[in-house]
Amino acid sequence: MKIPWWVVSFASVALVAAASSQDPHLSSARVVFQTNYGDIEFGFFPSVAPQTVDHIFKLVRLGCYNTNHFFRVDKGFVAQVADVVGGRSAPMNEEQRKEAKKTVAGEFSDVKHVRGILSMGRYDDPNSAQSSFSMLLGNAPHLDGQYAIFGKVTKGDDTLTKLEQLPTRKEGMFVMPTERITILSSYYYDTEMESCEEEKSVLKRRLAASAVEVERQPFVEYFGLCCGGDALKQTLNLPLLSSISDF
């Protein structure tokens, strides 16, 4: 049976549209932020924003996001992580401070700002992104092409929903939680390595047990995880500064 040309054309357009709406390829690396409201796991889009991914992942490996917080939660819009220089409650060592102060050139793409997407915060200068980033809580097309998207949330949407339900206050243009949403600890792993669920479970218990002491100690121990290998252990120290405003 001969298929009309317009049916073929319509099907082709539909396939192209579906393909263009798909997310970019996720790398195998995963990062988990353990907050006082639950875990949030995310992955990276290295083909979209390679410099940004390298920078953020290095900050994670150095333990820079431990004791940091979400300074902004605007329901249906964004949950934004503070700049680690100023956002943490623990001191910072020289290596962390050096990496955290670096800026990343804006890697803007045609990937859309939809719920779960990770998008870098910045000042008016498009090349001023440092360590603050947002987890999208809804569609924000006005941000498309203006802020660098570098990954997406892969697990923990229920935690994002919890954050959206917390009491907030308005400060200028920002909607901020009335109580601190702390990133108690973080770890990372590779989905392509051999299963390390038991190792991750042990690590998470150790992190949970030590998280209670974070606010009372001048130093915090960071345990970073690579699947198939030993847990990494570092001692961090970092000064407190004011957090930045983004978007």
Is pLDDT above 80 for 19? no
Q: Which of 22, 93, 89 is nearest to 62 (CA)?
A: 93
Q: Decide if 178 is inside a domain.
A: yes
pLDDT at 96 over 60: yes
Average pLDDT, the chain: 80
Among residues of the chain, what percentage have pLDDT more than 70? 69
Q: Read off the pLDDT of each residue in 180-185 and give the average, rounded to a whole number.
A: 97
At 247 the three-state DSSP class reads: coil
Q: What integer is the mean pLDDT of 211-226?
A: 42
Residue 136 corresponds to which amino acid?
Answer: L
Out of 31-45, 81-95, 186-200, pick the least confident: 186-200
The radius of gyration of the chain's CA atoms, rounded to the nearest angstrom, is: 19
Q: What is the pLDDT of residue 229?
A: 34
Query: DSSP string covering 217-241, please?
Result: -SSEEEEE--TTSPPEEEEE-----
For range 45-60, the mean pLDDT: 97
Burial class of residue 158, CB neighbours in 10 A (0-12, 13-18, 19+): exposed
Q: Is residue 9 part of a domain?
A: no
- Give the structural domain span for 211: 24-236
Q: Tell me what pLDDT residue 5 has.
A: 43
15: in domain: no
Q: CATH no. for residue 128?
A: 2.40.100.10
What's the rounded mean pLDDT across residues 156-182?
A: 97
Closest CA to 77 of 150, 151, 168: 168
pLDDT(52) > 90: yes
In a domain, 141, yes or no: yes
Classify residue 46: in a domain, yes or no: yes
d(CA 96, CA 65): 10
Q: Which residues pair with 229 in a beta bridge?
A: none
Domain count, the chain: 1
The CA-CA-CA angle for residues 213, 134, 200, to 5°, reads 45
pLDDT over 50 at 41, yes or no = yes
List residues bridging with 176 in a β-sheet.
169
CA angle 63, 160, 176 (to 5 degrees): 80
Query: Sorting pLDDT into bands at 50, 70 and 90, what band is 227?
Result: very low
Q: Rounded to the nearest 5°, which phi and psi values hold at 11?
A: -65, -40
Q: Does 202 map to a domain?
A: yes
- Which of the residue ranges 38-52, 95-109, 173-187, 222-236 would you say has the lowest mean pLDDT? 222-236
Q: Please report the pLDDT score of residue 6 as a whole number.
A: 45
138-151 pLDDT, tens per residue? 999 999 999 999 99
Length of the chain measured in residues? 247
Q: What is the model's pLDDT at position 10?
A: 40
**Looking at the domain assignment, is residue 247 inside a domain?**
no
Please indicate whether residue 1 or residue 229 has the higher confidence score (pLDDT): 1
For 180, residues 6+ apart whose C-beta sits below 8 A from its C-beta are: 69
Higher pLDDT, 9 or 36: 36
Looking at residue 22, its amino acid is: Q
Q: What is the pLDDT, as a whole number, of residue 211?
A: 55
Confidence category of residue 23, pLDDT binned at 50, 70, 90: confident
pLDDT above 60: residue 233: no
In a domain, 6, yes or no: no
The one-letter amino acid at 79? A
Give yes or no for a contact between 141 and 64, defined as CB atoms under 8 angstroms apart: no
Provide DSSP, 41-77: EEEE-TTT-HHHHHHHHHHHHTTTTTT-EEEEEETTT
Read off the DSSP letter of residue 148. -
